[in-house]
Amino acid sequence: MTTFITFLILVFVILAMCIGLFFGKKPITGSCGGLANLEPGRECEICGGNPSKCIEQ
């Protein structure tokens, strides 16, 4: 029973984060860079290498 309740709480939290992301209409903070900066030659999918575009959105 405890496992089931924990699972439901986890699913609720994930759904709440998804809803917040969909209605926020802006990139997650820190999305320019992150894993894309680990490999040379890759650029951010959101801003195309121009970080000011991420701030504008």
Mean local confidence (pLDDT), 47-56? 64
Domain ranges (residues) in the chain: 2-56
Q: How many residues does the chain have?
A: 57
Choose among 37, 38, 21: nearest CA to 47.
37
Say which DSSP state 27 is in.
Answer: P
pLDDT tens sequence across 1-45 = 999 999 999 999 999 888 877 777 665 555 555 655 556 666 666
**pLDDT value at 51 more than 80:** no
* Helix residue ranges per DSSP H, 1-57: 2-24, 51-56
